[in-house]
Structure 1
Amino acid sequence: MNTSTDRNRAGLLRRLAWAGSGFALGLIVLGGIVRITGSGMGCGDHWPRCNGEWFPPLDLPTLIESSHRWAAALVSVLVFAVAVVALKRHRAEPALRDPALLSALILVVQVLLGAVTVKLVLPPSVVITHFANAMLLLAALLVTALRASSPAVVPLPRSQRHGSHGLVLATAGLGLVV
């Protein structure tokens, strides 16, 4: 396969991964706004609904928190689309497939952390873990986008793939400890 064919073949994955990265970054900023404005409990301790409703009356804290949740739903759709495209079109290309699937796994953890954050009424350790995991999600999406944007994806040797996965997990573990 030539370079232009490789690039075109990864076109959908590239576009989805860049969109997911952009929206994930926006979601992180929105999460910061939730935190700075003290709107983290704007939906009470209800999750995934807001104050027991899908579309609650919106005072400012509720509007900010529910916006964060709706943006998270959009990011979730994009991340799972990235994973599905990677599995369907790039199954034999671990350099594209692996970070895309890792994004989906990190997203599942992120959603669970979001629920725990709300249900336990914003414990600092969970809030920090939720933020750190958001950064991991963004990183995995960016790796996917950058690799899908490269003219040719050169597969890493198995030992380097496992080593880099181990480093990501070790970094995440250290982030949880801090």
Structure 2
Amino acid sequence: MIKLLKWLSVLSSLGMLFVLIGGALVTKTESGMGCGRSWPLCHGQIIPSNITPELIIEMAHRLVSGGVGLFVLVLSILAWRYIGHIRETKLLAFLSIFFLVAQGLIGAAAVKFGQSDFVLAMHFGISLISFASIFLLTLLIFEIDRKFDADSLYIDRGLRVQFYSLAIYTLVVVYTGALVRHVGASVVCSGWPFCDNSSPLAFGSFNMYEWVQMGHRFAAGLIFVWVAYLFVRIRKQYKSKGVMRSGWNLALILMILQVFLGAMIIVTQLNLFIALLHALVIACFFSLLTYFILLSSRSAKYDKTK
């Protein structure tokens, strides 16, 4: 059964990653209405007669999401039953299903009834939480903690608070990035890092779209500084803990890559491949961060038992 759980967890994690990137592809190619106001059918048909690129993208995203949903459901039920004794299993199984259903309902509601840009911007963040939950469930199944000797790791309270706060703030930054896409502000600024490098402080002339774009850049800049600070702190404080050092080496690399890709989106005028890679990197970073939150929760439990 454990072997089956491993296969299911890997397939579910990879599948959810495709769902996440597929959702970004739908948004970036403006394919959300590729099937019209019909859901779950496409233009009210099982096999549509008028095939367009937007229809193919939207329909493929729906099919992949539905298939992955079945995998996640089976994985959650089996994990609950067979490894439910592991402390985090039941919560992660519930979160995996809950947020996967939530993102599906938001997507369906957007098709059937329409939604404001501010509501639609939540979709990617919800997908991110669902992916992270499935990813952590996969790590539990593979007993990743034992492999990296994370059971002997104690994370102090101050650093735990930093991890929790950074995770919440990351979702805020993700939301602002999704809002940039949904309101059509992706390339409203021609310069980088400022909206107009020739007049970097001309904030008074900004329109709403420029404020949305620059608000996201400022938020992203803060998260980069925060990750760099934690990287330096962890290198000093946990120099003998390989899981901490390796993890935050990777976290800093991912954040540097994320900033670079954000700049390249502007330089290339919204190149689709770069934009999708931008979404993939933040998904990897957030999932890595949630792993350290899992370790932090175990340290918090240790505090209570002392």
**TM-score scaled to structure 1, two decimals?**
0.76
Alignment partner, residue 12 of structure 2: 20
The CA RMSD measured in Å over matched residues stands at 2.8
Residue 177 of structure 1: CA displacement?
Answer: 8.0
Alignment partner, residue 114 of structure 1: 107
Structure exhibiting the larger radius of gyration computed from Cα positions: 2
Aligned 8 A contact 1:15 1:145 in 2: no
Deviation track 1:111-169 (CA, whole Å, cap 9, x = no partner) reads 11111221233531222111110000110011001111116777xxxxxxxx99xx69x
Aligned 8 A contact 2:121 2:175 in 1: no
Q: Partners in 1 of 2:97 and 2:67 — Cα distance?
A: 13
Q: Partners in 2 of 1:151 and 1:131 — Cα distance?
A: 27
Change (3 A) 1:43 1:145: same
Alignment partner, residue 88 of structure 2: 95
Q: Partners in 1 of 2:111 and 2:28 — Cα distance?
A: 16
Alignment partner, residue 48 of structure 1: 40
Q: Partners in 2 of 1:30 and 1:151 — Cα distance?
A: 28
Q: Partners in 2 of 1:22 and 1:177 — Cα distance?
A: 23
> Number of residue pairs matched?
159
Alignment partner, residue 132 of structure 2: 139
1:171 correspondence with 2:168: yes
**Paired-residue identity, %:** 28
**TM-score scaled to structure 2, two decimals?**
0.46
Q: Partners in 2 of 1:128 and 1:80 — Cα distance?
A: 25
Q: Whose relative contact order is higher, 1 or 2, with alpha carbons under 8 Å and at least 6 apart?
A: 1
Alignment partner, residue 35 of structure 1: 27
Q: Partners in 1 of 2:32 and 2:95 — Cα distance?
A: 27
- Which AA in structure 1 matches 2:119? V
Could you tell me which runs of 5 or more consecutive residues in structure 2 were left unpaired when the two chains were aligned.
Answer: 152-159, 177-306
Could you tell me which runs of 5 or more consecutive residues in structure 1 were left unpaired when the two chains were aligned.
Answer: 1-8, 155-162
1:11 correspondence with 2:3: yes
